[in-house]
């Protein structure tokens, strides 16, 4: 029979090991503003984050009505992530309700943004994630914020970020390769609103739309007429619907110009798990495949 002193020592040692293991397995409560950002945070945070996302699959991140439970989630969060650049105009209403909550981390800090002239004013385009290189900046900002909140798991977050960045770099290379296989004269696309500016800059595709950078804006009759003239003069033959907003106006313009349907894109929201774009990587692959198919003359 073992000596009681030895049993106590073994028990204490076991408890110390268990406690150390539990400490290293900390789980951060994290809030994200919309579905694409939630997916990126989950890739970096892995098992060490529990993500509460606000604007879900097929939701419009411009136009969201916060619920009381959103303020509670933000108040209790270890870290809250926003994309920023004017995307989540509704977030200020939640922060008032969640008085005392930690300041949100704006993951788009450090991204070189571009501006539109809209209604006589300059507006920053917030749709930065449609260039994969920008999401790699997101990954670095997310990693740093998670390490600041949980420094003991820094090596875990660093590895996840590095692995995911490798996946993103391969994705970026693949998109460039696919677009390069399309005729330059065909790289013109009509969409519902200006969500693809960063995609266009990064990959060499021209996008036209009746609405501005926000789905909450409205196009005047003159703007629609001017756009129809531009589409005709530039021989834009393809139009796309968007999963998260009203398609009636773009359908009317397409009918007036003779543009053909190319399908439904996912510019600012994931699909649900059964759809074609349940992750950010799948979203970019899907959008690119649809556009390349249309630009190569095989519309659906």
**Domain boundary assignment for the chain:** 28-167, 183-296
For 123-172, how does the pLDDT look when each residue is reduced to its tens digit (9 = 90+)?
899 999 999 999 999 999 999 999 999 999 999 999 999 999 999 999 99
CATH no., domain 183-296? 3.40.50.1980
CA distances from 117 to 120, 123, 124, 195, 233 (A): 6, 6, 9, 14, 22
pLDDT at 13 over 60: no
pLDDT at 38 over 50: yes
| Tokens encoding 159 | 């590895």
Instruction: Give the integer Cα–Cα distance in Å for 118 and 139.
Output: 30
| Closest to 124 measured CA to CA, from 198, 200, 59 | 198
Instruction: Give the integer Cα–Cα distance in Å for 272 and 40.
Output: 15
Domain 28-167 -> CATH class: alpha beta
pLDDT of residue 263: 78
pLDDT of residue 300: 46
In contact, 106 and 83? CB cutoff 8 Å: yes
pLDDT at 3 over 80: no
* Angle ∠(48,78,71) on CA atoms, nearest 5: 125
Q: Quick one: pLDDT band at residue 122, thresholds 50, 70, 90?
A: confident
In contact, 34 and 83? CB cutoff 8 Å: yes
pLDDT of residue 294: 87
pLDDT of residue 19: 44
Full-model pTM? 0.82
In contact, 194 and 207? CB cutoff 8 Å: yes
pLDDT at 90 over 90: yes
For 203-215, how does the pLDDT look when each residue is reduced to its tens digit (9 = 90+)?
999 887 654 434 4
pLDDT of residue 254: 66
Taking residues 65-94, what's their average pLDDT? 94
- Common-topology check for domains 28-167 and 183-296: yes
Selected residue with higher pLDDT from 148 and 253: 148
Of 64-68, 82-86, 246-250, 255-259, minimum mean pLDDT range: 246-250
CA distances from 14 to 7, 10, 199 (A): 11, 6, 54
């Amino acid at each position: 029979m073992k000596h009681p002193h030895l049993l106590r020592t073994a028990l204490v040692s076991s408890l110390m090991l268990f406690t150390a293991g539990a400490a290293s397995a900390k789980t951060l409560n994290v809030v994200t503003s919309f579905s694409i950002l939630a997916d990126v945070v989950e890739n970096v945070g892995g098992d060490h984050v529990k993500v509460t996302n606000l604007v879900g699959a097929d939701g419009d991140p411009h136009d969201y009505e916060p619920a009381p439970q959103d303020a509670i989630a933000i108040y209790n969060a270890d870290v809250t992530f926003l994309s920023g650049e004017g995307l989540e105009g509704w977030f200020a209403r939640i922060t008032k309700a969640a008085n005392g909550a930690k300041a949100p981390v704006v993951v788009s800090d450090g991204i070189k943004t571009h501006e539109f002239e809209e209604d006589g004013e300059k507006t920053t385009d917030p749709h930065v994630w449609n260039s994969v290189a920008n999401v790699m900046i997101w990954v670095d900002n997310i990693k740093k914020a998670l390490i600041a909140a949980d420094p003991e798991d820094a090596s875990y977050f660093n590895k996840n970020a590095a692995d995911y960045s490798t996946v993103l770099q391969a994705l970026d290379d693949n998109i460039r390769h696919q677009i390069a296989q399309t005729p330059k004269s065909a790289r013109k696309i009509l969409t519902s609103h200006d969500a693809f500016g960063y995609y266009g800059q990064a990959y060499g595709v021209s996008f036209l739309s009746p609405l501005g950078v926000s789905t909450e804006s409205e196009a005047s009759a003159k703007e629609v007429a001017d756009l129809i003239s531009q589409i005709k003069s530039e021989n834009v033959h393809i139009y796309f619907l968007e999963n998260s907003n009203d398609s009636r106006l773009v359908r009317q313009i397409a009918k007036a110009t003779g543009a053909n349907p190319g399908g439904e894109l996912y510019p600012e929201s994931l699909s649900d798990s059964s759809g074609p774009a349940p992750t950010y990587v799948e979203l970019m692959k899907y959008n690119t495949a649809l556009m390349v198919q249309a630009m190569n003359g095989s519309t659906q």
